[in-house]
Amino acid sequence: MGYDSGLLLGPLFDLTPCLLQTKIAKETMVSDNEMGLVLAVSSSVFIGSSFILKKKGLKRAAANGTRAGFGGYTYLLEPLWWVGLVTMTFGEIANFVAYVYAPAVLVTPLGALSIIISAVLAHFLLDEKLRKMGVWGCVCCIVGSVMIVIHAPQEQTPNSVEEIWKLAMQPAFLIYVAISMSIVLALILYCEPLCGQTNILVYIGICSLMGSLTVMSIKAVGIAIKLTFEGINQIWYPETWFFAMVAAICVVMQMIYLNKALDTFNAAIVSPIYYVMFTTLTIVASAIMFKDWNGQNTDSIASEICGFITVLTGTVILHSTREEEQASPRRMRWQDSGKSFDEEHLTSLYSPEY
């Protein structure tokens, strides 16, 4: 009994397009990840540099008017500050697009590069010396943040703006929004007049809390734009415009208080603390809104707790470094234990390493 070769070879030819598509998909996946990696690194370079450019612009503006830390807005007339703002905008756009091409577990930790870039540039361009303890604080913040991001729960992407609106109306997320806004109001009305010029967490806390709400709103707007380009029009939904309005308000608030933080405190200290608090609160907000904590195993939860402890340690080290900078240089004397009392050596230490 003979066999028809067409019957035998037909399925093989039918599988050929599938194999080719799989190969092309794998190649596309690799190129997409590479594109996301390049965009994420570029974003960190832009954002890290923008802190320094805006800081230099704020310093120039302070020489000609009221400082931003005291409610002045003369920095709006300073071209260098606008260059910094444009640079930060490019960085944020690159970061946003990077999430389209690469997974969050690859993109988000690379945001820590902006801390290193701003600290190094501040060391050379702003003469804001980063001491050894400050370096260790940065390392702790970066390591802890990476641990949190890597073990953070995965998001479930909504399919419409209306679906996001339903998620935003959940009681748990509404409670988060209410608590966040209450803390922001308390920081603005009570803490800022009392200790805004001495406690870096006041300005950075406002920026970070508003930033977590900004990300949620921008995510909704981004999904609306993406679905519209795919042929599912979301522009005319009132929810889209509501999220856009919330995002605009939150961005303005972030800009104002980030300027105050940069004008008041060392840029090498502002950058890592802002990154740590912003990343942590954004993960918390996303987990509450999108219910991403469901299904987390014990190992992931333990890793996240360790990450939070590491971040807290780094923040304390950085804050203590800032307090040490504000103190006037003090003479330190000691007696060389290897000499007699008559041969005692009194040494004065002014080195920034101590």
How far, in Å, CA of 318 to CA of 321, rounded? Answer: 5
184-193, 241-250, 318-327: least confident range: 318-327
**Does the pLDDT of residue 7 top 60, yes or no?**
no
pLDDT level of residue 157 (50, 70, 90 thresholds): low
Residues in CB range of 307: below 8 A, 6 or more apart: 144, 145, 146, 147, 148, 151
pLDDT, mean of residues 48-63 = 84
**Cβ 126 vs Cβ 55: under 8 Å:** yes
The tokens describing 248, both together, are: 């605009």
Q: What is the pLDDT of residue 352?
A: 33
pLDDT tens sequence across 8-43: 445 444 544 444 444 444 444 445 567 777 888 899
Nearest of 215, 178, 185, 214 to residue 202 by alpha carbon? 185
DSSP-assigned letters across all residues of 108-165? GGGGGHHHHHHHHHHHHHS-----HHHHHHHHHHHHHHHHHHHTSPPP---SSHHHHH
**Does the pLDDT of residue 345 top 60, yes or no?**
no
28 vs 72, more confident: 72
Q: What is the pLDDT of residue 319?
A: 60
Q: Burial of 139 by CB count in 10 Å (0-12 exposed, 13-18 middle, 19+ buried)?
A: middle
Q: What is the pLDDT of residue 325?
A: 55
Residues in CB range of 182: below 8 A, 6 or more apart: none
Write the Ramachandran bin of 71: left for phi over 0, alpha for psi from -120 to 50, otherwise beta: left
The tokens describing 181, both together, are: 């806004």
How far, in Å, CA of 254 to CA of 277, rounded? Answer: 13
pLDDT, mean of residues 199-209 = 93
pLDDT tens sequence across 281-322: 877 887 788 776 676 687 877 887 788 788 777 766 766 665
**Cβ 219 vs Cβ 99: under 8 Å:** no
- The pLDDT mean for the chain works out to 75
The tokens describing 36, both together, are: 């996301």
Secondary structure class of 217 (helix, strand, coil): helix
Q: What separation in angstroms does the CA of 114 have from each of 50, 139, 168, 302?
A: 9, 13, 30, 27
The tokens describing 78, both together, are: 């300073």
**Does the pLDDT of residue 349 top 50, yes or no?**
no
Q: How many CB atoms lie within 10 A of CB 41?
A: 15
**Does the pLDDT of residue 92 top 80, yes or no?**
yes
pTM, whole model, 2 decimals?
0.64
12 vs 225, more confident: 225
pLDDT level of residue 71 (50, 70, 90 thresholds): low
Q: What is the pLDDT of residue 335?
A: 41
Q: Which residue has the tokens 């949190």?
A: 148
Q: What is the pLDDT of residue 185?
A: 96
